[in-house]
Structure 1
Amino acid sequence: MTARVLIVDDMLANLKLLEARLVAEYFEVRTANNGAAALELCEWDLPDVILLDVMMPGMDGFEVCRRLKSDVRTQHIPVVMVTALDSQNDLLKGLEAGADDFLTKPVDELALITRVKNLARLKLLTDEMFMRASTEEQMGFAAVMDGEVVGTGRSGRVLLVEDREAPALRMIEALKTDNDVVHLTDTARALLGAPDGNYDLLIVSLNLENADGLRLCSQLRSIDRTRHLPIMIVVEPDEEERLHRGLDMGVNDYIVRPVSTSELRARVRTQVKRKRYTDFLRSRLEQTVEMAVLDPLTALHNRRYLSSHLVTLFEESADRGRALSVLLIDVDHFKAINDTYGHDAGDDVLRELALRLRRNIRGIDLACRLGGEEFVVVLPDTRPDSAYLVGERLRQSIAAAPFVVGGRNRPVNVTASMGVAALEYDNDTPDLILKRADQALYCAKRDGRNRVISYAA
């Protein structure tokens, strides 16, 4: 994979060294020699990952990180602090400023490449969801930053898998103030419980006495319902190889023993906050996909969905020699309804007609609003004579009882005309079937409305 990486360091030698290592792995690299220059670069060219030196003159790395994380445009860019400092206080200070990870100088090349790849992958996936869910104008950064959406990363639901009592109790004690912690000692139970537990984070020890923690991580990454669940692993200081294997399989974060309770809380907050953001994006994506195929007024499928799905149904029916019919429906004198009662009343009529359609067709039938007062129902495994009977049933359900419209609950008598056509000829196409249904509908209108006409060659 490739991604854009911004390296920020006031030492030219460090910049060149890190740049050479990343370019060799086909990353696209930008550099800045101070914090102000880095912030300026981010104004016009957003990177995917930022490697940020801590000790710089003027604005140090902590302050640069705080500013990046307080800006809605840059707050979700992963920041890796690169520092010669190795005290717990400095690490905690960086995490509280919003840093996602740390690398200690001199930087190990394997650690550098593995962590940058892992963070870049997460960032690119998030970006893809964001772009697919909505444009910037549709969603708005203010919506993304809504307190209920992102929050502080507290009140998370955490699953801890640790079979040694003392370390488990210590971590539970550190997290229980801000989180709901479920502790399991058995990886089999964790594998069964994680998909249905509505967890925000999984913490797994790699030093389980009776199981392989990495295998649990791998198994959960292969299950659809836990594929996006953040995972943090707990490792010993000398477990670099297993750590890198974990990061490579998609583990989100890690903490090294002996576990600092302050660091643990900070890392958990970061993961829970990110989980809620990605959940929000995923929800927006589902809504956007739904909006793309549903008519907002009637909640029936729209013309766009019909165009693609009718082709699929047609091809299946043609290939298997099965029947397929189409029913085209048009509300009679709809303009008069709008002119007499108002457009709001017209909308009420369309919504009620959609409800009556849904009540009188099968689950496998496809009801769509083509636009205006025109609807179509696609009837798989239905021959023209049966489709005519369906049309009659629909026509009667529309005409049988007045439609109640407007704030004053005014009853309006509504009727509809319908045209039926079917897959009948070797050279048929979806468009030809719809055209024949439209011709039949025209005949129904011409012959007095409130009737069903089947196409006859």
Structure 2
Amino acid sequence: MSARVLVVDDVLPNVKLLAAKLTREYFDVITAYNGPEALELVHRESPDIVLLDVMMPGMDGFEVCEKIRSNPATMHIPVVMVTALSDVTDRVRGLEAGADDFLTKPVNDIALFARVRSLVRLKMMMDEWRLRESTSGQFGVIERTATLHSESHERARVLVLEDSVLDFEKIADTLRRDSDEVVCADTGARALERAMTEEFELVVVSLTLLNEDGLRFCSQLRSHERTRQVPILLVVDEGDLNRVAKGLELGANDYVIKPIDRNELLARVRTQIRRKRYQERLRSNYEQSLSMALTDSLTGVFNRRYVNAHLPRLLERALDSHKPVSVLMFDIDHFKVVNDTHGHDVGDVVLKEVANRASRNLRTFDLVARLGGEEFVVILPDTDGDAAMIVAERLRSRISDSVFPVPNSNDELRVTVSIGVSVGGQLGDTADTLIKRADEALYQAKRQGRNCVVSDDRTEDMRVAAAPTR
């Protein structure tokens, strides 16, 4: 996963060592040596995550973190404090200042990289929800959501998978300070049954279970649509960082190390509950706006109006983050023949199924829209030309390789699409030019015989330039 990481430390060797490790893991690293410089880079470079030392002269890491969190433009950037301080009160203070995690030097590389990747994935998802809400808000159909830290954290329902009665009671007693309702399950099967039938805002999973693997339960939660977005907090033994890293890769959101400090547990739980409620509020506003103004009534995907408002914002963000945006333009080959032969009702069924197949084969934060008639567009944030061509070819095959049933008939239709690809994100790119280039590539695909994928000339030149030489 590519991401821009800001490393902040007043000790030059520390910065160089951490930057070298991150660069070897293919992260894009920028550096700062004091608090004011860090805040300037946060505003100017829009990093995906900040690794922040605490003990710095003038402005310490706690103050830097608080300033990042107090600014609406930067408050959603993940912050991990990396410091020699190891006292639990310092860890709690960092979490209460808004840090997402608090790692003690010398930092375990496995835990660090897993934490960075986990938080960057979360930021990408949250950025997309916030951007979609902002796009929807400009139509005047919803009000903007309050900030993350204005969300309440009290009276949450929490499910705890723990087979130690003493450990469960300690967790439950701590969470009840916020009047939380805490439900215990002593096996993964019982926990999964409750998670699938009841609503929880957090699941706490012990990795010290005697007779089963808590990580398997985490993977089960993430594999079900109902529980996919519920935050997971791991409880682990000190030194078990390899399993922590695996848990974060599986989709866990945070972890706390035994022996559990009550204040640290409470701080981490509050962060996860606030984030869950904030995300749900974003999702609710977003879905409300779609039903009112921004979707195509036939297929349920976005409409041209939404694309015209959303794509320029994506390009602005791409210019700031130096990450490309790709556009796929496609339409159904010989669609007029379908309508003329089988009628417009069957044509509508084909349009809806094409939209469904496109939506099912993309990431959650990618965007599918119907521009009109049989013409669709797919917008892929943070996607270069090579990746876009792979996605386009996969989409083409998903549509062409399976027949389309004809309602109230034994007939079946073979439907194909032609796809044009363009990539933007550089100075001078606009939504209109990006769509026009993809449209020209689409027509080239039709001239080449249809049922194929073609990239525009500029995108192809970029792909050739980026290809490794032999």
Fold conserved between structures, TM > 0.5: yes
Change (3 A) 1:301 1:61: closer
Residue in 1 that maps onto 2:158: 158
SS in 2 for 1:77: coil
Counterpart amino acid of 1:104? T
Whether 2:197 is the aligned partner of 1:196: answer: yes
**How far apart in 2 are the matches of 1:15 and 1:301?**
46
User: How many Å apart are 1:317 and its aligned residue?
Assistant: 9.4
**How far apart in 1 are the matches of 2:249 and 2:263?**
26
SS in 2 for 1:50: strand
Number of equivalenced pairs: 321
User: How many Å apart are 1:322 and its aligned residue?
Assistant: 4.1
Change (3 A) 1:211 1:316: farther
Residue in 2 that maps onto 1:37: 37
Alpha-carbon contact 2:133-2:144 (below 8 Å) kept: no
Residue in 2 that maps onto 1:244: 245
**How far apart in 2 are the matches of 1:136 and 1:323?**
35
SS in 2 for 1:72: coil
- Within 5 Å, give how 1:246-261 maps onto structure 2: 246-261=247-262
Instruction: Report the identity percentage.
Output: 47
User: How many Å apart are 1:254 and its aligned residue?
Assistant: 0.4
Change (3 A) 1:112 1:139: farther
Counterpart amino acid of 1:270? T
Gaps of 5+ in 2: 306-330, 347-371, 373-405, 409-470
Whether 2:312 is the aligned partner of 1:292: answer: no
- Within 5 Å, give how 1:433-444 maps onto structure 2: none
Residue in 2 that maps onto 1:27: 27
Counterpart amino acid of 2:338? A
Counterpart amino acid of 1:209? L
Whether 2:241 is the aligned partner of 1:221: answer: no
User: How many Å apart are 1:143 and its aligned residue?
Assistant: 2.6
User: How many Å apart are 1:150 and its aligned residue?
Assistant: 4.6
Whether 2:64 is the aligned partner of 1:64: answer: yes
Residue in 1 that maps onto 2:102: 102
Gaps of 5+ in 1: 306-310, 327-369, 371-379, 383-457
TM-score by length of structure 1 reads: 0.64
**How far apart in 2 are the matches of 1:92 and 1:302?**
43
Residue in 2 that maps onto 1:129: 129
Counterpart amino acid of 2:65? C
Alpha-carbon contact 1:323-1:381 (below 8 Å) kept: no
SS in 2 for 1:263: helix
Change (3 A) 1:99 1:139: farther
Alpha-carbon contact 2:52-2:79 (below 8 Å) kept: yes
Q: Which has the larger radius of gyration?
A: 1
Residue in 2 that maps onto 1:233: 234
TM-score by length of structure 2 reads: 0.62
**How far apart in 2 are the matches of 1:324 and 1:142?**
38
User: How many Å apart are 1:315 and its aligned residue?
Assistant: 5.4
Change (3 A) 1:315 1:265: same
**How far apart in 1 are the matches of 2:101 and 2:139?**
29
Whether 2:278 is the aligned partner of 1:283: answer: no
User: How many Å apart are 1:154 and its aligned residue?
Assistant: 2.6
**How far apart in 2 are the matches of 1:142 and 1:20?**
44
User: How many Å apart are 1:53 and its aligned residue?
Assistant: 0.2
Instruction: After superposition, give the CA deviation of every residue in 1:289-342 in whole Å (9 maximum; x if it has no partner).
Output: 3321268xxxx999869xxxxx98x9599399644469xxxxxxxxxxxxxxxx
Alpha-carbon contact 2:6-2:50 (below 8 Å) kept: yes
Alpha-carbon contact 2:6-2:49 (below 8 Å) kept: yes
Counterpart amino acid of 2:204? I
SS in 1 for 2:119: helix
SS in 1 for 2:75: coil
Residue in 2 that maps onto 1:318: 338
Alpha-carbon contact 2:72-2:147 (below 8 Å) kept: no
